[in-house]
Amino acid sequence: MNLESLASELRGFVGITRKKQIGSIMQFFPIESERIIASFGEDAAVIDDGEEVMLLAADGIWSKLMEVDPEWSGYCSILVNVHDIAAMGGWPVAMVDVLSVGDDEISKRVLLGMKKGIEKFHVPIIGGHLHPDTPYSALDVAILGKAKKSGVILSSTAKPGDVVVAAADMNGQPHPRFAINFDTTSFKDSETLLTQLGSMQELGERGLVKAGKDISNPGLLGTLGMLLETSNVGAIVDVDAIAVPAGLDLGAWLKMYPGMGFVVTTKPENSAAVLEVFERRGLTARVIGRVTAEKKLIIRSGSEEKGKSKDMVLFDFEKECVTGIH
């Protein structure tokens, strides 16, 4: 395993580098409401609602995806939003969208993809806005969800000593026209997918995880980097422990949006229970590392015994950022 080459490849991966500007815009959005429990850095904002919380999130579809496959982009607009709510330990309620498109054929394909996602994940779109005459195509979707206050899973609460668990559905294939998307959902039935998504709600309500995120466009280690940065901690990850779908190499897998995947931290004594929940619900789960106080994400290959391991710093959060959110 050439860790230096892998680290260099991941640092330059556009799925990671395009996140760097997020932190710089936060200064323009002061938060003065006592009802806001959590906001920037989380997969969804958390709003106090008594014994429950409201979860509010939004995602814009990458223009590259819109250009390659409008129908897939419409489907993914539903998929990624539902995952943001699931990652917080919640359940989705409804969505609204903003569709900007001047081409009738592209519009039809996008809407067909959205319809498929709505039917598969049982979450309605109940309003939004249409720009029918733009010279470009763009799609943005916002989602409202809910969760039990005691079961919310944040990105900002990982602690040194936690172990890192990665879970994903290995039964899929790269999208034929967008290779950094690993499709595990379009061909599966709703019951299977909702069971997989429900893993985070179960983990949250049972108090089994300390922090978590859904694995998104930055890939597994990029997403973990976002979580660690928000929590002001670091981690050591054994790349040899990462499960990889058949037919893919590790480098390609670490740059993929996995379709159905989560990364969480948990106390070591709870790791077996976390693995059991993920596996029972149809995801392949592995302990891949541990959280450290040193603010670096270090990747490792080989045994720690007798100095046989090789280490490489992937991100040094004291000197660089993934999102700039702390």
Residue with the bigger pLDDT between 206 and 31: it is 206
38, with CB counted inside 10 A (0-12, 13-18, 19+), is: buried
User: Which residues contact residue 155 at a Cβ distance below 8 angstroms, ignoring those fewer than 6 apart?
Assistant: 41, 42, 43, 211, 212, 213, 226, 227, 230, 231
d(C-alpha 255, C-alpha 268), whole Å: 27
Average of pLDDT values for 267-285? 98
pLDDT average, residue stretch 267-287: 98
Question: In this structure, what token pair is assigned to residue 49?
Answer: 């609602």
Query: Buried (b) or exposed (e) across 259-281, using 16+ Cβ within 10 A?
Result: bbbbbbbbbeebbeebbebbeeb
For residue 304, pLDDT over 70 is answered with: no
> Over 90: is that where the pLDDT of 325 sits?
no
CA dist., res. 84 & res. 223, Å (int): 12
Rg (CA), the chain: 19
Position with higher pLDDT, 177 vs 237: 237
Write out the two tokens for 154. Answer: 């944040």
Residue 28 scores a pLDDT above 80: yes
Confidence of residue 27 (pLDDT cuts 50, 70, 90): confident
User: Quick one: pLDDT at residue 310?
Assistant: 85
Phi-psi map region of 306: left, alpha, beta (phi>0 left; psi -120 to 50 alpha)? left
32-149 carries CATH number 3.20.20.60: no
pLDDT, tens digit, 9 for 90 and up, residues 130-173: 999 999 899 999 999 999 999 999 999 999 999 999 999 999 99
pLDDT in tens, 57-87: 999 998 888 889 999 999 999 999 999 999 9
Three-state SS string across 233-251, please?
CEEEEEHHHCCCCCCCCHH
Q: What is the predicted pLDDT for the residue at 84?
A: 98
Two structure tokens written together for 307: 């100095």
Tokens of 323: 């999102």
Contacts of 198 (CB under 8 A, 6+ apart): 86, 281
What does the alpha-carbon distance between residue 271 and residue 268 come to, in Å, rounded to a whole number?
5
DSSP-derived letter for residue 17 is H
The residue-averaged pLDDT of 12-37 equals: 89
Query: Which pLDDT score, from 0 to 100, does residue 152 have?
Result: 98
> Which residues neighbour 321 within 8 Å (Cβ) at sequence distance 6 or greater?
20, 23, 229
Query: How many C-alpha atoms does 59 have within 13 Å on its Cβ side?
Result: 23
Please give the mean pLDDT across all residues of the chain: 94
Could you tell me the pTM of the whole model?
0.94
Q: Where are the domains of the chain?
A: 3-16+153-316, 32-149
pLDDT greater at residue 2 or residue 326: 2
Supply the CATH classification number for the domain 3-16+153-316: 3.90.650.10
